[in-house]
Amino acid sequence: MVRRASDNAEAWVEFDEATKSVTANSKVIIVTPGSSKYFPGTIMSFSTFYKATSCYVSIWYDQSGNGPDAVQHDKALQTRIVNAGIIDELALASGERHSLESKKQPRGNTTTAAHQGVR
Residue 11 lies in a domain: yes
- With respect to residue 110, please indicate whether it lies within any of the assigned structural domains: no
Q: CA 99, CA 79: separation in Å to the nearest integer? A: 7
**pTM for this entry:** 0.74
Tell me the percentage of the chain whose pLDDT exceeds 70.
75
Has residue 32 been placed in a domain?
A: yes
Quick check: is 67 in a domain? yes
Structural domain of residue 88, as residue ranges?
A: 2-105
pLDDT digits (tens, 9 = 90+) for 24-58: 999 999 999 999 999 999 999 999 999 999 999 99
Q: Cβ(4)–Cβ(36) under 8 Å?
A: yes
**Is the residue at 115 inside a domain?**
no
For residues 104 and 115, the answer to whether their CB atoms sit within 8 Å is no
The SS3 assignment for 28 reads strand
- Is pLDDT above 80 for 114? no
The amino acid at residue 39 is F
Q: What percent of the chain has pLDDT over 90?
A: 54
